């Protein structure tokens, strides 16, 4: 028979007093979690200059999830995906170019010099896997993603699969990282509202990435506008997948499969973005 103390604990856990009795343990757990977020936030306020479109590294486990995500979407062995991720991480010419250009840019006061690609590693690997001839990216900002896409297209071209990226942004100052060679050789930067620019596209699109105005209404307008321009087996991607259901609904409506990847940033208060993918 259980002793008196155990009998008492069991009686409390079954009674209406249970939530009150567990309060100290619950408080300690949530305080430990919140203290960690506050510590990361304070460190970020002092060490980072970014005010939007944050950059960070992904946890080791999260990188594995990303590799498997790309493997499933592109139907390629996960070992190939890991090799492509290692390939861009080892691309010192690209990294040095981004670091130097950031250090000398007019907007350097609002950019971190350290280069962290995060989910863009997934974009890179998807392009290496699917060898698209024409990629369209909406939303360019400094041009970090554009450079990553261009780097993948240049590697594909060296292996006999040339391709170009059309990058659309409403801000005339966008894309300064993507204006240097060799990356600029495969980039067509178009300034204007993405919906109008999509309407003016004159060749089929093999891969489309939404990363511009993140309102659900604008995201929806982009996927509707791009549809008549898509090649038969085009891959649709969104940067908005952790916030809206636009792409998953569009996938269902258009008879595509859908999958989502969610980032886990290392030592950052921001919970991360993700990649949504829809394909046939």
Give which of 64, 95, 69 is closest to 82, Cα–Cα.
64
- Under 8 Å CB-to-CB from 105, ≥6 apart: which residues? 111, 142, 176
Query: Residue 230 has which token pair?
Result: 């898509």
Contact flag: residue 40 with ligand SAM (CB under 6 A): no
Tell me the residue number closest to ligand SAM, measured at CB: 145
**In degrees to the nearest 10, what's the CA dihedral of 89, 52, 66, 122?**
-60
Which residue number, 12 or 154, has a Cβ lying nearer to ligand SAM? 154
> Least distance to ligand SAM from the beta carbon of 52, Å?
7
Candidate residues 91, 211, 219, 263; the one interacting with ligand SAM per rule CB under 6 A: 211
Measure the CA–CA gap between 143 and 229, rounded to whole angstroms.
Answer: 24
Residue 265 DSSP symbol: B
Contact flag: residue 219 with ligand SAM (CB under 6 A): no
Using the rule CB under 6 A, give the single segment among 15-23, 101-109, 182-190, 206-214 that binds ligand SAM.
206-214
Give which of 232, 224, 211, 244 is closest to 123, Cα–Cα.
211
Query: Residue 233 has which token pair?
Result: 């087996």
> Least distance to ligand SAM from the beta carbon of 222, Å?
8
Query: Residue 110 has which token pair?
Result: 């609002």
Candidate residues 144, 207, 225, 236; the one interacting with ligand SAM per rule CB under 6 A: 144
71 prior amide bond cis, ω within 30: no
> Least distance to ligand SAM from the beta carbon of 11, Å?
56
Contact flag: residue 168 with ligand SAM (CB under 6 A): yes
Question: Which H or E run includes 188?
Answer: strand 187-191
Candidate residues 111, 140, 190, 230; the one interacting with ligand SAM per rule CB under 6 A: 140
> Least distance to ligand SAM from the beta carbon of 225, Å?
11
Contact flag: residue 212 with ligand SAM (CB under 6 A): yes
User: What is the contact surface with ligand SAM in residues (CB under 6 A)?
Assistant: 53, 120, 138-141, 144-145, 168-171, 174, 193-194, 211-213
């Amino acid at each position: 028979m259980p002793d008196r103390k155990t009998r008492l604990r069991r009686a409390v856990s079954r009674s209406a007093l249970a939530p009150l009795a567990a309060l100290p343990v619950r408080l300690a757990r949530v305080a430990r979690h919140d203290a960690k977020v506050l510590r990361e936030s304070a460190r970020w306020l002092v060490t980072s200059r970014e005010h939007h479109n944050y950059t960070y590294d992904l946890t080791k486990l999260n990188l594995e999830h990303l590799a498997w995500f790309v493997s499933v979407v592109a139907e390629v062995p996960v070992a190939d995906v890991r090799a492509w991720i290692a390939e861009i991480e080892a691309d010192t010419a690209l990294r040095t170019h981004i670091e130097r250009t950031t250090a000398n840019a007019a907007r350097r006061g609002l950019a971190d010099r350290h280069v962290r690609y995060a989910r863009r590693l997934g974009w890179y690997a998807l392009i290496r896997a699917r060898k698209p001839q024409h990629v369209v990216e909406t939303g360019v900002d400094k041009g970090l993603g554009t450079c990553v896409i261009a780097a993948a297209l240049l590697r594909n071209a060296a292996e006999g699969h040339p391709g170009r990226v059309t990058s659309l942004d409403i801000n005339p100052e966008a894309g300064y990282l993507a204006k240097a060679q060799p990356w600029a050789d495969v980039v067509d930067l178009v300034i204007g509202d993405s919906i109008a620019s999509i309407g003016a596209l004159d060749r089929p699109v093999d891969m489309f990435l939404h990363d511009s105005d993140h309102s659900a209404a604008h995201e929806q307008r982009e996927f509707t506008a791009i549809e008549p321009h898509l090649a038969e087996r085009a891959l649709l991607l969104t940067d908005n997948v952790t916030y809206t259901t636009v792409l998953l609904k569009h996938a269902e409506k258009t008879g595509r499969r859908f999958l989502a990847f969610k980032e886990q940033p290392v030592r950052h208060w921001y919970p991360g973005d993700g990649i949504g993918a829809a394909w046939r």
